[in-house]
Amino acid sequence: MPEQIDPDAEPQLPVGVGPWPGGPDAWPDDPRYDRDLLADGDRRNVIDRYRYWTMAAIVADLDEKRHPFHVAIENWQHDMNIGSIVRSANAFGAAEVHIIGKRRWNRRGAMVTDRYQHVRHHEDVAAFAAWADAAGLPILAIDNVDGSVPVDRSDLPERCVLLFGQEGPGLSPEALAAASGVVEITQYGSTRSINASAAAAVVMYEWCRRYA
Ligand SMILES: C[S@@+](CC[C@H](N)C(=O)[O-])C[C@H]1O[C@@H](n2cnc3c(N)ncnc32)[C@H](O)[C@@H]1O
C-alpha cells in the first residue's frame, strides 16, 4: 500500500541550522552566542547574521540601527492584522510599534517578531497623541478618506508616526483629528480598501525607499 498523505498536515521541512559544526570545542568565544542554540541548533525565524545569537544580543544590535519612523494601530476590536503589522515593522526597522486601545492583541501574525520589537501600549488616542507630542513626532494618518494625499506625492517626514486603522471602521474620528496629515495608497480595483497590514507594509516600504 502506498503511504497515505494527510493533506491537512503541517509541512515538516527543517528550517534554520543544526548544532554548531565541530561541537563545543569549536564554539565561538563571543558572549552574543547562545550556548543552548550552539548545542541544539537554531530553528528561529531570524536572518543568517543572527544565527545562534541570544535574543538580547539581537535586540541590542537592532537597537543600534532602528529607523526613526514609528508605527501605530488602533485596537478596539482585536484586529487580526496587528500581528502582521508588528512583523512588518520588525522587517522594515521601525523604531517602535504603538497599540492604541485594548491592551491585548492577537500575536499570531507576528510570528514571534514582537520579541525583537519595542511595543508600547496607549489607553486611547489622547494618551497616544500626548506621547507623540512629547516625543516631537508628527502623526501621519494612513487611510483613504476625503482629503488624503497619495503616499508617493506626500511629504512623508523622516521622523514620524504612521497611524493605521482597523478592518471595518478604519481610523476613528479622534485618530484622524490627532494627525497632521492623511496619506492614502492609490488603488485601481473595485474594493474600497486593502488589508490594514498590507497598507502598513506598503507605506513602511515607501518610507524605506526614501530614507533607508
Ligand atoms: C480595511 S481599511 C478600512 C477603512 C477604509 N477607509 C474603507 O473605507 O474601507 C483598514 C485600514 O487599512 C488601511 N488602509 C486600507 N486601504 C488603504 C489605502 N488604500 N490607503 C491607505 N490606507 C489604507 C487604513 O489604515 C485603514 O484604516
User: 27 and 75 share a domain?
Assistant: no
Distance 159 CA to ligand 1 centre (A): 22
Residue 2 has a pLDDT of 53
Residues spanned by the domain of 116? 69-211
**Could you count the other beta carbons within 10 Å of the beta carbon of residue 33?**
17
Which residues have CB under 6 Å of ligand 1?
A: 142-145, 164-167, 170-171, 184-185, 187, 192-194, 196, 199
Residue 185 has a pLDDT of 98
Pick out the chain residues at pLDDT < 70: 1-12
Q: Kindly report the CATH number assigned to the domain that includes residue 186.
A: 3.40.1280.10
Last residue of one domain, picked from the residues 12, 34, 61 = 61
User: 91 and 52 share a domain?
Assistant: no
User: 9 and 51 share a domain?
Assistant: yes
Last residue of one domain, picked from the residues 34, 61, 88 = 61
User: 83 and 168 share a domain?
Assistant: yes
Are 179 and 141 within 8 A, CB to CB?
yes
User: 99 and 144 share a domain?
Assistant: yes
**Among the listed residues 203, 198, 211, the one whose alpha carbon sits nearest the alpha carbon of residue 67:** 211
Single pTM value for the model: 0.91
182-203 tens-digit pLDDT: 999 999 999 999 999 999 999 9
- Based on the structure, what is the number of domains in the chain? 2
Exposed e or buried b for every residue in 52-66, given b needs 16+ CB within 10 A? bbbeebbeeeeeeeb
Query: How far apart, in whole angstroms, are the C-alpha atoms of residue 28 and residue 108?
Result: 34
